[in-house]
Amino acid sequence: GIVTARFDAINLDLVLSGDRQANDVTVTSNALNGISVTGNNGTSIRFNNQLTAAGTPVQITFGQIRDISASLGNGDDVFLMESQEPTTVRNLTVWAGQGNDSVAVQEFANSKLDITGNLHINTESGNDRVDIIATDAIDVTGNVIILTDAGNDAVGLIDNAKFGAVVGANLAATVANIR
């Protein structure tokens, strides 16, 4: 598959759009003052009209990013957001589309992930897996919304004692109401 990455320098938004194929993409905050986007397992990344081969990270440097949005389309998609450095974003939204999808948000030690708005994950129908993995701290100021729709789905809140303040959201109620 091909995932198109677009960075809006005015609004400071990263938008990822997948095709109808199986897409596997990793978004990583890193020490280079930015985000890298890497296609895995045959997924290429198109950025600035250039197609980058699978396994080759595309570095997007910024001072501050506000929103990360991924719409991967139908297919058996994999999305991983890795916070390897302290990272603040306003909203993180992932729409995986129909298919057997896997979505993970992972924060590594000493790399606190602050989401000052909402964390919204929708995997639609299929046998899906969603994992939120907190090693140090994941703080969500807004709502945490995880929708998996029809299928044999699993949601993991791994080391959820490390979750910071989920202000304005009841994480337990949100997870209990997965449909």
Check whether 20 has a pLDDT greater than 80. Answer: yes
* Cα distances (angstroms) measured from residue 43 to each of 65, 109, 121, 165: 24, 28, 21, 35
Give the C-alpha separation, 92 to 70, whole Å: 8
Quickly state the pLDDT bin for 120 (edges 50, 70, 90). very high
Prediction pTM value: 0.86
pLDDT at 31: 65
Average pLDDT, integer, range 136-148: 86
